[in-house]
Chain A
């Protein structure tokens, strides 16, 4: 546990309500997004988050801070979500529909990663794609559409910024698994951004969606 976190944990354990409120405000939105990966129902996701906080409250006394507070709380969410969402039949139907996709495997080269030769994005600074609001909208919707486990790993690692080791612990996956799943997920997100950038700036009129065109100009 970090030096900053130890006093905070002590405050929580002593029943400091402001500390608890701060924790809920800080982690709540991320927990909700993560809960959404386990269920198609927003209401169920809210239940999962609520159950997670109750689990945190119950477990706080015994929590010794061997993992970071954030990692511990996300782990609790996974356990609650797996119990609650197992009853959500739509989840299984979705997973089955996706099993047919070609997924990248180490040693398979670009198979499952890219179909066409990658062409540099025609933006002045490709690093700055995150400054385009529309690009972020495209990215968010692609993230929402990822298969469940890829979405979970990408959310924890790239959106929440947890370490690869923490992601392994939270999802009970091996390091190799996380690495492969992460690459699969990121590859699909790159592809979504690629489509957006190229359709938005292409003169072939491939994209008739107004947002793509407007946004394409925006990030040039």
Chain B
């Protein structure tokens, strides 16, 4: 497998969903290509960091208008 094919599979790799027929070639490529290996590691760290982003704003306050709409909704 070359870099082009490996890169196309990286999204699958992040979800541990690389098709089984491609798995050996993909693993072999990562083993011999530091660029792809580093890139994939860093993508994985990026995705993990995204899950840790703090919420910026808590405007989840329930407005009286919304609550009234909920109370008076047609059943």
Contact = CB atoms under 8 A, between A and B. Distances in A.
Interface residues of A, number: 57
A33 B57 CA distance: 9
Contacts of A143: 50, 53
Contacts of A29: 55-60
Main secondary structure of the interface of A (DSSP, over half): helix
Nearest to A26: B60
Interface in A1-28: 15, 17, 20-21, 24-28
Interface residues of B, number: 42
A186 B46 CA distance: 7
B50 A189 contact: yes
B38 A193 contact: no
Contacts, number: 135
A127 B48 contact: yes
6 contacts: A32-B59, A113-B7, A113-B39, A139-B46, A179-B11, A189-B46
A117 interface: yes
Nearest to B46: A190
Nearest to B67: A17
B43 A106 contact: no
Interface in A55-112: 57-58, 60-61, 106-110
